[in-house]
């Protein structure tokens, strides 16, 4: 079975912007569906007999803002972008394939690879000793619209926040905020 990544539109038949309830119906139709698994309180999450987990992330309004797929343990389940098998091949092979199609940035000391223009993000496995070279495969992939990880701009306030009056502060302790 192949699960197709289609950034920035979606993955596994789930479209960015669709209702979470619709995404859950799509997830339940993927072969090997076991149900919501240990994250039963988390809408949009499904576990599969292949060891794969797929989560449709809710933007807080009941709409899918990203799709995250965790590595299946069954090698017959392939997660694919433009013919590149994301979890079957070592991360270095996947990265070399991706640069033919996308600009990629390697961040977090090499443990995360992001294709910001698409938006695709990949997380590498690390050995128990923290050696990414030793393990070297991707463990998860996220597909979302570009800007998914951009930090929101918070408005600046013109007045500083007032603290506790001096007589209510603990002696020798400065106000933290």
Task: For residue 77, tell me if it sits in a domain.
Answer: yes
Is residue 174 in some structural domain? no
| 40-65 average pLDDT score | 90
**Residue 166 resides in a domain:** no
Q: List the Cα angle 117/120/124 in 5-degree steps.
A: 135
The pLDDT value recorded for residue 151 is 57
Burial of 33 by CB count in 10 Å (0-12 exposed, 13-18 middle, 19+ buried)?
middle
Least confidently predicted of 7-16, 18-27, 30-39, 88-97: 30-39
pLDDT at 23: 96
What domain range is 133 assigned to?
Answer: 2-144
Can you give the pLDDT at residue 146?
A: 72
- Residue 36, C-beta contacts closer than 8 angstroms, at least 6 positions apart: 42, 45, 46, 47
User: Is residue 64 pLDDT above 50, yes or no?
Assistant: yes
User: Mean pLDDT, to the nearest integer, of 72-80?
Assistant: 95
Q: Is residue 21 within a helix (H) or strand (E), and if so which, with residue range?
A: helix 20-28
Share of the chain above pLDDT 90, in %: 58
Mean pLDDT, range 102-130, rounded to an integer: 81
Tell me whether residue 177 is in a domain.
Answer: no
Which pLDDT does position 145 carry in this prediction? 80
| Number of domains within the chain | 1
Strand order in the sheet with 138-144: 33-35, 45-48, 53-58, 64-70, 138-144, 120-124, 112-115, 105-107
Taking residues 137-164, what's their average pLDDT? 64
State how beta strands 105-107 and 14-15 pair: unpaired
Is residue 111 within 8 Å of 123, Cβ to Cβ?
Answer: yes
């Amino acid at each position: 079975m192949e699960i197709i990544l289609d950034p920035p539109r979606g993955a596994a038949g789930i479209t960015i912007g669709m209702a979470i309830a619709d995404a859950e119906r799509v997830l339940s139709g993927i072969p090997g569906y076991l149900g919501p698994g240990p994250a039963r309180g988390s809408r949009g999450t499904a576990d599969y007999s292949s060891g794969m987990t797929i989560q449709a992330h809710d933007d807080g309004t009941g709409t899918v803002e990203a799709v995250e797929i965790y590595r299946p343990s069954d090698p017959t389940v392939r997660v694919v972008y433009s013919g590149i098998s994301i979890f079957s091949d070592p991360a270095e092979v996947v990265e070399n394939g991706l640069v033919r199609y996308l600009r990629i940035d390697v961040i977090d000391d090499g443990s995360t690879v992001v294709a910001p223009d698409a938006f695709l993000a990949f997380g590498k496995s690390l050995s128990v000793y923290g050696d990414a070279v030793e393990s070297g495969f991707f463990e998860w992939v996220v597909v979302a619209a570009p800007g998914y990880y951009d930090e929101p701009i918070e408005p600046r306030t013109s007045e500083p926040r007032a603290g506790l009056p001096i007589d209510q502060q603990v002696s020798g302790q400065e106000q933290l905020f």
